[in-house]
Structure 1
Amino acid sequence: MSDARTRSAEFCRRFQLDLPILLAPMAGACPPALSIAVAKAGGAGACGALLMQPHEIAAWADAVRAQTERPFQINLWIPDPAPERDAAHESQVRDFLGKWGPPVPPAAGDAAPLDFAAQSEAMLAARPAFVSSIMGLYSPEFVERLKAAGIAWFATATTVAEAKAAASAGADVIVAQGMEAGGHRGCFDASRAETSLSGLFALLPAIIDAVQVPVVATGGIADARGIAAALTLGASAVQIGTGFLRCPEAGIHSAWAEGIAEATPEKTMLTRAFSGRAGRSLATEYAIAAAAPGAPAPAPYPVQRGLTATMRKHALETGDLQRMQAWAGQAAALARAEPAEELTRALWQDAQRLLP
């Protein structure tokens, strides 16, 4: 294995970066300004396109390219099968949520995912330097089209088995996601998200030993120490999400940003209470109550996301962190409220001093 500096330099040359730091694609928290700032520092921007219509994906890419020619990624979830509906259970969830916000309309759970095929076409048309996947793998046909267009595929994996499957399917890079990561768990099998929990620094070398493609480390990395440690363990680059959320360019609610600043690792938790898919958030009063004995189990994704929409909207309008969808990784408190371009450069400068 090459040393950390050589390995990261090779990765940067291949993907036209100046430093091996990627912005994590966070749906709803990746405005163009944040990607532009990270890219201008020499890293790679990112778009979490899960909630975006095709024209919004195109507009996001145009906005970034208007300010920088640096590379960026666009990410999509691989869709789950249609959920099984249970009207009686959903009624119980609506009643529970009504205690945390305005009454939930009876049809709120009917919210459907956006058209994945149309989003995929828009992503391809946007011609990012690379696309990334989470929750599964792109189809062989789509991977062929990516290759033909010269677009690299970064596949998120939470286990060694997932990483091997992604590499066999043609992934150019594996993004190893530790259970420390904020936001949604990338497990291919949604039912295993709370039981298949590997910390990044155990998962990372295991995946590196199992595949022949570069590996990017993500989850619980928010400062120079985490970057240097991941590269020393064999990663070619790192991907940072929560660590950028306090930057002004992220544009998140101030209550969320303040909550991140105070979040020790034990003040985050895995929860399905917002979307129906397991993700790591701040341990807010709502998230804790939703996991308590007697609370109705969350509905499946995306039904739960629809059911919680009223509460989440009201929480943002009132600035109530305790009911807000506030994703956060276990290293949240290391995030710094600094301009993202300056922060990206500082992180890499400090990390280099720690590398052998």
Structure 2
Amino acid sequence: MTWTDRRILDLFGIELPIIQAPMAGSTTPEMVSAVSEAGGLGSLACAQYTPQQAREAVQKVRAATSRPFNMNFFCHASPEPDPARAAAWHQALERYYTEFGLDHSAPPPASGRAPFDADFCTVVEEARPAVCSFHFGLPEPSLLDRVRRTGARIISSATTVDEARWLEARGCDAVIAMGLEAGGHRGNFLTDDMAAQVGTFALIPRVADAVRVPVIAAGGIGDARGIRAALALGASAVQMGTAYLFTPEARIPAPHREALRRAGEQETVLTNLFTGRPARGILNRVMRDLGPISALAPAFPTAGGSLAPLRGHTEPRGSGDFMSLWAGQAAALGREMPAGELTRRLAAETLKSLPVRPA
């Protein structure tokens, strides 16, 4: 058997309709190259790097594989400083500083992720990846035009039909339909209303009906059953993130890996405590204490600064109480194996379970 919908395969020049999600802070060049070498599309999370670090990461990927890969960037607007809100957030965490004997009066370290800009665009022009993907919309038109001139296929995440149409109208070659089940940061950019977010398997057919470009399904897909369902609903490929957190190539701390192993016993919820923007992760102490969504949390991506000393104190002691434990709702389906093997096995299991079409 073979894949009947080849739109994404032909568009990206890959063999398998499986894209490894770009997970800033967890993805490594080793993961990216392993997935691409296996026939899928590895995705380098460039938001975790400086431009020079991104160049070095690309060199590592290229040294390990000659196959297509994706470079991913954030497209958020850097927030204006809000000292009052930052102070109120820091004050809300004072009790934890007291509990652990930490100096609450010391200025919290800066935190954040760099948005796509001219310097990152230069890196893309130098690297000329097969695919360039974006989160939180798209960069300004002049930068997007520069990316397009490299020959890279351009994709981005949509959490609603309106966002999917917006992306298609601005020249995206494919749209990622990101359902509410997905781990990590929501990709929303036209709305902040989390109550209106849609689940993956309701979103896929709506987006597929609304746009002409191929659709990539993301969120709550953890095994061949999910891949098969996504393809049946109109997706041409899937993007999977949490499944790859179980691989040895993932760069995650021990408390995060242990939480993933116990994912079947725990809930995942949307929270803004760690960055200031809604993201799905495994419930932990600070989320229970403060509520997973807090109006006090400073704007993305600055909320993590005041939590950093608490994480720095508790993580070496084996605790994930003050760190982001990003995971999607299908985390309990995760299997521990190398990223390349996982990619090939997911594809083989999907093909085996697809219905046989008459000749």
Q: Same fold (TM over 0.5)?
A: yes
Q: What is residue 17 of structure 1 aligned with on the other side?
A: 14
| Deviation of the 1:324 alpha carbon | 2.5
Q: What is the correspondence of 1:104-119 to structure 2 with a 5 Å cutoff?
A: 104=104, 106-108=106-108, 111=111, 113-114=113-114, 116-117=116-117, 118-119=119-120
| Deviation of the 1:283 alpha carbon | 0.7
Q: What is residue 31 of structure 1 aligned with on the other side?
A: 28
Instruction: Specify whether residues 326 and 78 from structure 1 end up closer, same or farther in structure 2 by C-alpha distance, changes over 3 A only.
Output: same
Instruction: Specify whether residues 106 and 130 from structure 1 end up closer, same or farther in structure 2 by C-alpha distance, changes over 3 A only.
Output: same
Output one character per residue of 1:268-322: Cα deviation in whole Å (capped at 9) or x when no partner.
Answer: 11001111111000011222212079x7732222221222222233343332122
Native 8 Å contact 1:111 1:306 kept in 2: yes
Instruction: Specify whether residues 318 and 354 from structure 1 end up closer, same or farther in structure 2 by C-alpha distance, changes over 3 A only.
Output: same
Q: 1-side partners of 2:222 and 2:114: how far apart?
A: 31
Q: What is residue 282 of structure 2 aligned with on the other side?
A: 282
Instruction: Specify whether residues 79 and 284 from structure 1 end up closer, same or farther in structure 2 by C-alpha distance, changes over 3 A only.
Output: same
Q: What is residue 74 of structure 2 aligned with on the other side?
A: 77
SS of residue matched to 2:307: helix
Native 8 Å contact 2:161 2:210 kept in 1: yes
Q: 1-side partners of 2:278 and 2:351: how far apart?
A: 34
Q: 1-side partners of 2:66 and 2:74: how far apart?
A: 26
Native 8 Å contact 2:112 2:275 kept in 1: no
Q: Percent identity?
A: 37
Amino acid of the structure 2 residue aligned with 1:5: W
Q: What is the correspondence of 1:218-229 to structure 2 with a 5 Å cutoff?
A: 218-229=218-229
Instruction: Specify whether residues 292 and 14 from structure 1 end up closer, same or farther in structure 2 by C-alpha distance, changes over 3 A only.
Output: closer
Q: 2-side partners of 1:259 and 1:289: how far apart?
A: 18
Instruction: Specify whether residues 246 and 315 from structure 1 end up closer, same or farther in structure 2 by C-alpha distance, changes over 3 A only.
Output: farther
Q: 1-side partners of 2:315 and 2:158: how far apart?
A: 32
| Deviation of the 1:337 alpha carbon | 0.6
Q: What is residue 47 of structure 2 aligned with on the other side?
A: 50
| Deviation of the 1:103 alpha carbon | 3.8
Amino acid of the structure 1 residue aligned with 2:334: A
**TM-score, normalised via structure 2 length:** 0.91
Q: 2-side partners of 1:52 and 1:27: how far apart?
A: 9
Native 8 Å contact 1:266 1:330 kept in 2: no
Q: What is residue 320 of structure 1 aligned with on the other side?
A: 319
Q: 1-side partners of 2:155 and 2:317: how far apart?
A: 38
Q: 2-side partners of 1:186 and 1:146: how far apart?
A: 20
Instruction: Specify whether residues 91 and 18 from structure 1 end up closer, same or farther in structure 2 by C-alpha distance, changes over 3 A only.
Output: closer
> Which has the higher mean CA deviation after the structures are superposed, 182-191 or 263-272?
263-272
Whether 1:138 and 2:139 are equivalent positions in the alignment is: yes
Q: What is the correspondence of 1:91-106 to structure 2 with a 5 Å cutoff?
A: 91-98=90-97, 102-104=102-104, 106=106
Q: What is residue 5 of structure 1 aligned with on the other side?
A: 3
Unmatched runs of 5 consecutive residues or more in structure 1: none
Whether 1:309 and 2:308 are equivalent positions in the alignment is: yes
Amino acid of the structure 1 residue aligned with 2:168: A
User: Number of paired residues?
Assistant: 350
TM-align CA RMSD:
2.2
> Which has the higher mean CA deviation after the structures are superposed, 75-84 or 237-246?
75-84
Native 8 Å contact 2:159 2:187 kept in 1: yes
Native 8 Å contact 1:276 1:301 kept in 2: yes
SS of residue matched to 2:231: helix
Q: What is residue 244 of structure 1 aligned with on the other side?
A: 244
| Deviation of the 1:145 alpha carbon | 1.6
Instruction: Specify whether residues 342 and 292 from structure 1 end up closer, same or farther in structure 2 by C-alpha distance, changes over 3 A only.
Output: closer
Q: 2-side partners of 1:50 and 1:100: how far apart?
A: 33
Native 8 Å contact 1:32 1:64 kept in 2: yes
Q: What is residue 159 of structure 2 aligned with on the other side?
A: 158
SS of residue matched to 1:248: coil
| Deviation of the 1:163 alpha carbon | 0.4
Q: What is residue 67 of structure 1 aligned with on the other side?
A: 64
**TM-score, normalised via structure 1 length:** 0.91
Q: 2-side partners of 1:50 and 1:97: how far apart?
A: 29
SS of residue matched to 1:221: coil
Output one character per residue of 1:102-121: Cα deviation in whole Å (capped at 9) or x when no partner.
Answer: 44565326546536312233
Instruction: Specify whether residues 41 and 350 from structure 1 end up closer, same or farther in structure 2 by C-alpha distance, changes over 3 A only.
Output: same
Native 8 Å contact 1:182 1:219 kept in 2: yes
Q: 2-side partners of 1:149 and 1:299: how far apart?
A: 36
Q: What is residue 178 of structure 1 aligned with on the other side?
A: 179
Q: 2-side partners of 1:147 and 1:77: how far apart?
A: 17
Q: 2-side partners of 1:89 and 1:44: how far apart?
A: 43
Q: 2-side partners of 1:11 and 1:292: how far apart?
A: 36
Instruction: Specify whether residues 292 and 273 from structure 1 end up closer, same or farther in structure 2 by C-alpha distance, changes over 3 A only.
Output: closer
Q: 2-side partners of 1:280 and 1:90: how far apart?
A: 20
Instruction: Specify whether residues 79 and 224 from structure 1 end up closer, same or farther in structure 2 by C-alpha distance, changes over 3 A only.
Output: same
Q: 2-side partners of 1:6 and 1:212: how far apart?
A: 18
Q: 2-side partners of 1:76 and 1:233: how far apart?
A: 28
Q: What is residue 255 of structure 2 aligned with on the other side?
A: 255
Instruction: Specify whether residues 145 and 346 from structure 1 end up closer, same or farther in structure 2 by C-alpha distance, changes over 3 A only.
Output: same
Q: 1-side partners of 2:172 and 2:262: how far apart?
A: 37
Amino acid of the structure 1 residue aligned with 2:11: R
Q: What is residue 199 of structure 1 aligned with on the other side?
A: 199
